[in-house]
Amino acid sequence: MIRRYTQSLDTLVLKEYEIFNTSGVRGCRMDVDAEKLQQAVLALLYLNTFEQKLGKRAWKALPWSVMDQLHDKGYISDPATKAKSVCLSDEGARLSEELFERLFAVK
């Protein structure tokens, strides 16, 4: 049973990879400047860095304080739940797409 579950996960990961690979960014319908996107993600990782014996590490999640601020502005649902995702309001969804296009679309 565990083996079957693992194979299912591998299949899901492969499908996600194929979706990601075909458009550059999953769910995105525009040509994206991959270098700018990588730089932005790296910059966001800086917000979550901490020191350990073997060097610096970064949490993969976004800072809670920023998520709380976005919630206060009404762009996302309350991030302080057990869910691993947040709901975007109509305004939050519109603004997120607009900002993404402005920052990362190939021109």
Task: Express each pLDDT in 59-86 by its tens digit.
Answer: 989 989 999 999 999 999 999 999 989 9
Question: Which residues form the domain of 3?
Answer: 1-30
Which amino acid, one-letter code, is at 31?
Answer: D
Instruction: Give yes or no for residue 103 having a pLDDT over 50.
Output: yes
Q: Whole-angstrom Cα distance, residue 107 to residue 10?
A: 36
**pLDDT-based confidence at 92, cuts 50/70/90?**
very high
Which residues are paired to 105 by β-bridges?
A: 32
Same domain, 9 and 36: no
Q: Whole-angstrom Cα distance, residue 64 to residue 17?
A: 28
Same domain, 25 and 35: no
Same domain, 49 and 60: yes
Q: pLDDT tens digits for 29-62?
A: 788 899 999 999 999 999 889 999 999 999 989 9
Same domain, 17 and 64: no
Same domain, 56 and 107: yes
Instruction: Give yes or no for residue 12 having a pLDDT over 70.
Output: no
Q: Whole-angstrom Cα distance, residue 62 to residue 59?
A: 8
Same domain, 43 and 92: yes
